[in-house]
C-alpha cells in the first residue's frame, strides 16, 4: 500500500489547519453560508436535508486495517455509529457537527486519509479496479497510476475551479471492474504492438441526466506522458467547457458538441506543447510508487488446497458463499473474498463501527492488512489463503457479514436517495430493501443468476441506474415518488446504457415490476444466457408484454 | 480597488480606459480588447505604457502576437467559480512568455490567491484592504506542490528525486514565493 512521505503528510496537515481556520471564520460569522459553501465543498462537506454530510476519500478503494479502524472510530465518536460506503469507493458520514469536522479531518490525517476535493467542481477521488493486485487478468497494478493521478490532481492550481466535477477511473485489466467508459476520463492500461504497457485514454463518458459512453481519444499513451496528456485534456476542458448551464457543463457535453475528432485534435495540439515539459513522469518516481504496491509476502502454495475443497464439498452453505463471494486469486493457493454489505432488508453500503473494526481485525489476520471498497458498495478481503477461507467465512457469518449474494439480484447499488439527499426526487434505500426482501430466497437468487440492479433517487444517477442490467430511477410526479425502469445497461468493458422500458411505476408497484421483469427473463432465457444477452436477443417486447399488457 | 503586489498594498498606477471616447491623460492606461483591436494605431502612437484587460471568454491567444506591446495583462474572474483565467494565466506565462504584470481582477478572494499565484498572477485587485493579511496567510497555507506550474517551483515528484527542496523553509513561511519569469 502507498504510504505518505513528508510531502504528503505536510500537505494534508496544512489542509487541515486551513480548513480549521475556514470553519472558525464561518462559526464566528466572518463568513456567511454562501461564502463558506465553496470552501467546505472543496473539503467534502455537504449540507444535506437534515445535517452536514462529510465524504472521506478512499483513494482507489484501498484501505489498511489501521485506516478502517480509524473510520470506525470516527463513526462512533463523531457520528451515529455507522458509515456509508459509496459508489465511488468512498465513505460518507451523515451526521457530523460542523465545529467537529476539523477534528475529524485531523484524526483522518493521522492515518493518511483526507476529504480534499471529495465534492465541488474539481477532481474527485480517483477510483480503480477494486481487485487490483489480486486479479489474475491485470497487466500491472493500476493503483500505481491511480496514486500518481491522485497526487497530480490534488489542489491543482489551474483546475480547482472547473466547469463541473471531474471523475477519473483507472483499470489495468481487460475485464473492466472500474467502469472506465462512464467516467470523465477513463484510463485503461493495455499493451502496444511492441508489448510495452501504456494507456488507452477514454474521455467524455458519464452518467447523470445525459448518460454517454466515453470515446477513446488515444489508443496508446506511453506511461511517462500520462500526466501531460491529462493536463492537456483538462486545459482544453477548463477553457471551453460550458459554464452557462450546470447541466451541460460536464466534459462529455463538450466532447459531444465539439465532436470527438475535433476535440481530440484540440487535445493533441495542446499536448504537443507540453508533452516533453516538466510534467514528464520521472522514472524514479514511477519506481518509487511501484515499490509501495509490491505484492505482499505470499507463501508458495499449491494452486488447489485440499482443505478448502473438502470444506466446500462438506458444507453446502459454505459452498454457496464460495460460489458467489470467493474468486480466484492470481497467486496460486490464495482467494479473493468479498464481504457483502447488502444483507436482506439492509441499507446497501452501510457498515457499523463494530463491523468495520471486526473486518479490520480480520484483514490483519487473514488478508495482509488490506481491505478494498468496491464501487458496488461492498468490501473485499483481497488476499486470503484458500485454506483459511472457511475460518474467515465462519467469522463473517458471526457478524452478519456472510451474505452470499455478490453479483446476484439482491446485491443492489443504491444512492442515499430522499432519506438523506436534498437533490433526490424519491427514496432509493427502501426500494433496495424491499427488493432484497422480495428475493430473500437464496435458491431463487441462484437460479436467477448474475443480475445487477442499480437504483438512483434522481437524475444525477449516483446509483448508476443507467448501467444496471435493470436500472431504477426515482422521479417526482406531482409530489409523488415514481420509478422509471431501464433495461440492458452495462458498466463493464461492453459498456452500454439501459433503455427505458415504458411508463414508470409507483413506489408501491416498483418491486412487483422488478419481479415481473426477472420472472420474464428466467422464462424466456436460453441455457446459460445472461440477462443482457436475453434482452439483446428478444428485445423489450416480452418485458413490455408482461409489465403492461395486463394493466 | 486595493491592489496587492509584491506582498504589500500598493497604489495602483494604472487607470482604466472606456471602450470609446477620449483616453485618460494618465500615462498608464488599461484598455479592453475591443479598444485595442479598433484603436491599435492610436494606442501605440501614445508611446506610453499600455495594459490590456481580457474577460473570461477572451482567450489570450487573441493577443499572443501583440504581447510585446503590453506591460500589463489583467484577467477577469467574473465570479470566483469561473476558473478559465487560471489556464489563461499559465498560457501567458509558460507558452507566450509574457513577463509583465499579470493582474487578477473581479471576484478575487483570499482563498483562491494561492492558486492564482501558482498560475502566474503577480498582482491582485482585492475587495478590501483587510484582505492583505488574509493574502499573506493564504499564500503560505499550503507549501506542497504536487504539480509543476507557472511559479516554476519544483513539484514533489521532482523534489523526491534530487531536486532542490524549499521545504520546510516555505512551511515556515518567512518569505512570499517569488514569481519567476517563465519564458521558454
SS (H, E, C) chain B: CCEEECCEEECCCCEECCCCCCCCCCCCEEEEHHHHHHHHHHHHHCCCCEEEEECCCCCHHHHHHHHHHCCEEEEEECCCCCCHHHHHHHHHHHHCCCCCEEEEEECCCHHHHHHHHHHCCCEEECCCCCHHHHHHHHHHHCCCCCCCCCCCCCCHHHHCCCCCCCCCHHHHCCCCCCCCCCCC
Contact call for A158 and B115, based on CB within 8 A: yes
Residue A466 CA to residue A310 CA, distance in Å, equals 42
CA distances from A422 to A39, A48, A289, A418 (A): 19, 6, 39, 7
Q: Which residues pair with A380 in a beta bridge?
A: A338, A372
> Looking at the predicted structure, is the pLDDT value of residue A153 above 60?
yes
> Would you tell me how many other CB atoms lie within 10 Å of the CB of residue A441?
10
Q: What is the mean pLDDT of residues A4-18?
A: 96
- Residue A260: partners with Cβ closer than 8 Å, 6 or more residues away: A204, A215, A217
Residue A350 CA to residue A341 CA, distance in Å, equals 7
**B3-141 has which fold?**
TIM Barrel (3.20.20)
A86 neighbors A377 (Cβ within 8 angstroms): yes
Task: Give the closest of B112, B142, B168 to A11, CB-based.
Answer: B142
> Looking at the predicted structure, is the pLDDT value of residue B171 above 60?
no
Residue A31 has a pLDDT of 86
Contact call for B147 and A156, based on CB within 8 A: yes
Task: Calculate the dihedral angle through the C-alpha atoms of A42, A47, A53, A57, rounding to the nearest 10 degrees.
Answer: -20
C-alpha grid cell, residue A470: 435493470
- Residue B66: partners with Cβ closer than 8 Å, 6 or more residues away: B36
> Looking at the predicted structure, is the pLDDT value of residue A366 above 80?
yes
Residues of B in contact with A269 (CB under 8 A): none
To 5 degrees, how large is the angle CA A374–CA A378–CA A381? Answer: 80
| Distance in angstroms between the alpha carbons of the first and the last residue of chain B | 33
| Closest-CA residue to A416 (of A429, A407, A425) | A429
Average pLDDT, chain A: 95
C-alpha grid cell, residue B180: 519567476
Domains and CATH numbers, chain A: 6-109 (3.90.480.20), 134-290 (3.30.413.10), 306-398 (3.90.480.20), 413-548 (3.30.413.10)
Q: Which residue has the higher pLDDT, B137 or A163?
A: A163
pLDDT-derived band at B104, boundaries 50, 70, 90: very high
Residue B15 has a pLDDT of 96
What is the value of ipTM here, to two decimals?
A: 0.92
Q: What is the mean pLDDT of residues A192-216?
A: 95
Residue B179 has a pLDDT of 34
Q: What is the mean pLDDT of residues B1-10?
A: 88
To 5 degrees, how large is the angle CA A132–CA A133–CA A138? Answer: 70
Contact call for B146 and A152, based on CB within 8 A: yes
Residue A370 CA to residue A298 CA, distance in Å, equals 13
Predicted confidence (pLDDT) per residue in A378-409, tens digit: 999 999 999 999 999 999 999 999 999 999 99
Helices (H) and strands (E) counted in chain A, each on its own, are: 18, 21
Task: Give the closest of B84, B118, B160 to A157, CB-based.
Answer: B118
CA A279 to chain CA mean position, Å: 28
- Shortest Cα–Cα distance, A456 to chain B (Å): 28
Q: Which residues pair with A189 in a beta bridge?
A: A199
C-alpha grid cell, residue A49: 436535508
Q: What is the mean pLDDT of residues A482-501?
A: 94
Residue B164 has a pLDDT of 58
Task: Give the closest of B80, B90, B141 to A14, CB-based.
Answer: B141
Amino acid at each position: 500500500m502507498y504510504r505518505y512521505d513528508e510531502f504528503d503528510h505536510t500537505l494534508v496537515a496544512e489542509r487541515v489547519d486551513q480548513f480549521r481556520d475556514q470553519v472558525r471564520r464561518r462559526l464566528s460569522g466572518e463568513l456567511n453560508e454562501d461564502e463558506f459553501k465553496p470552501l467546505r465543498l472543496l473539503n467534502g462537506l455537504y449540507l444535506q436535508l437534515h445535517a452536514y454530510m462529510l465524504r472521506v476519500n478512499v483513494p482507489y478503494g484501498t484501505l489498511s486495517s489501521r485506516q478502517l479502524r480509524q473510520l470506525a472510530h470516527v463513526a462512533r465518536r463523531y457520528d451515529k455509529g455507522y458509515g456509508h460506503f459509496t459508489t465511488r469507493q468512498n465513505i460518507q458520514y451523515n451526521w457530523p457537527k460542523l465545529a467537529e469536522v476539523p477534528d475529524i479531518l485531523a484524526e483522518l490525517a493521522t492515518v493518511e486519509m483526507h476529504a480534499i476535493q471529495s465534492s465541488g467542481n474539481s477532481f474527485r477521488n480517483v477510483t480503480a479496479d477494486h481487485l487490483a493486485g489480486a486479479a489474475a487478468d491485470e497487466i500491472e497494478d493500476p493503483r500505481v497510476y491511480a496514486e500518481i493521478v491522485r497526487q497530480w490532481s490534488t489542489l491543482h492550481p489551474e483546475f480547482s475551479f472547473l466547469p463541473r466535477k471531474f471523475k477519473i477511473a483507472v483499470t489495468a485489466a481487460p475485464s473492466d471492474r472500474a467502469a472506465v467508459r462512464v467516467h470523465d476520463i477513463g484510463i485503461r492500461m493495455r499493451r502496444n504492438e511492441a508489448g510495452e504497457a501504456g494507456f488507452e485514454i477514454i474521455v467524455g463518458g458519464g452518467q447523470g441526466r445525459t448518460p454517454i459512453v466515453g470515446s477513446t481519444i488515444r489508443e496508446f499513451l506511453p506511461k511517462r506522458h500520462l500526466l501531460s496528456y491529462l493536463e492537456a485534456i483538462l486545459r482544453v476542458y477548463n477553457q471551453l467547457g460550458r459554464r452557462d448551464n450546470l447541466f451541460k457543463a460536464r466534459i462529455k457535453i463538450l466532447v459531444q458538441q465539439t465532436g470527438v475528432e475535433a476535440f481530440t485534435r484540440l487535445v493533441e495540439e495542446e499536448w504537443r506543447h507540453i508533452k516533453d515539459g516538466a510534467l514528464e513522469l520521472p522514472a524514479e518516481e514511477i519506481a518509487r510508487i511501484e515499490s509501495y504496491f509490491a505484492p505482499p509476502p505470499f507463501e508458495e502454495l499449491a494452486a488447489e488446497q485440499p482443505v478448502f475443497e473438502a470444506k466446500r464439498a462438506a458444507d453446502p452453505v459454505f459452498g454457496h458463499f464460495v460460489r458467489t463471494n470467493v474468486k480466484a486469486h492470481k497467486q496460486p493457493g490464495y482467494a479473493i473474498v468479498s464481504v457483502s454489505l447488502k444483507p436482506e432488508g439492509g441499507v446497501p453500503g452501510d457498515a457499523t463501527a463494530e463491523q468495520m473494526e471486526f473486518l479490520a481485525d480480520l484483514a490483519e489476520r487473514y488478508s495482509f492488512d488490506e481491505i478494498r471498497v468496491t464501487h458496488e458498495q461492498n468490501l473485499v478481503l483481497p488476499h486470503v489463503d484458500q485454506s483459511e477461507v472457511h475460518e474467515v467465512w465462519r467469522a463473517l457469518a458471526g457478524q452478519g457479514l456472510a451474505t452470499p449474494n455478490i453479483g446476484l439480484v439482491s446485491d443492489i447499488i443504491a444512492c442515499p436517495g430522499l432519506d438523506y439527499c436534498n437533490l433526490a426526487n424519491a427514496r432509493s434505500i427502501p426500494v433496495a430493501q424491499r427488493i432484497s426482501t422480495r428475493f430473500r430466497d437464496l435458491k431463487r437468487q441462484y437460479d436467477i443468476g448474475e443480475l445487477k440492479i442499480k437504483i438512483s433517487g434522481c437524475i444525477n444517477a449516483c446509483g448508476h441506474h443507467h448501467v444496471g442490467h435493470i436500472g431504477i430511477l426515482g422521479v417526482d410526479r406531482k409530489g409523488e415518488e415514481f420509478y422509471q425502469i431501464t433495461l440492458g445497461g452495462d458498466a463493464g468493458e461492453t459498456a452500454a446504457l439501459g433503455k427505458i422500458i415504458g411508463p414508470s411505476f409507483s413506489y408501491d408497484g416498483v418491486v412487483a415490476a422488478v419481479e415481473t421483469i426477472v420472472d420474464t427473463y428466467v422464462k424466456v432465457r436460453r441455457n446459460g444466457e445472461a440477462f443482457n444477452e436475453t434482452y439483446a436477443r428478444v428485445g423489450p417486447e416480452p418485458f413490455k408484454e408482461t409489465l403492461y399488457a395486463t394493466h | 480597488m486595493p491592489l496587492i503586489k509584491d506582498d504589500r498594498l500598493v497604489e495602483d498606477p494604472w487607470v482604466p480606459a472606456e471602450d470609446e471616447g477620449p483616453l485618460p491623460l494618465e500615462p498608464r492606461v488599461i484598455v479592453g480588447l475591443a479598444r485595442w483591436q479598433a484603436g491599435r494605431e492610436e494606442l501605440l502612437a501614445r508611446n506610453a505604457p499600455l495594459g490590456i484587460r481580457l474577460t473570461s471568454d477572451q482567450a489570450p491567444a487573441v493577443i499572443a502576437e501583440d504581447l510585446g506591446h503590453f506591460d500589463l495583462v489583467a484577467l477577469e474572474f467574473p465570479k470566483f467559480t469561473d476558473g478559465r483565467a487560471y489556464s489563461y494565466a499559465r498560457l501567458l506565462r509558460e507558452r507566450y512568455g509574457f513577463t509583465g504584470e499579470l493582474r487578477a481582477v473581479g471576484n478575487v478572494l483570499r482563498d483562491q490567491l494561492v492558486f492564482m499565484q501558482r498560475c502566474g498572477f503577480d498582482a491582485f485587485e482585492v475587495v478590501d484592504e483587510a484582505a492583505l493579511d488574509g493574502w499573506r496567510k493564504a499564500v503560505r497555507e499550503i507549501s506542497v506542490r504536487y504539480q509543476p506550474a507557472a511559479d516554476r517551483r519544483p513539484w514533489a515528484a521532482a523534489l523526491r528525486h534530487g531536486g532542490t527542496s524549499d521545504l520546510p523553509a516555505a512551511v515556515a513561511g518567512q518569505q512570499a514565493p517569488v514569481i519567476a519569469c517563465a519564458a521558454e
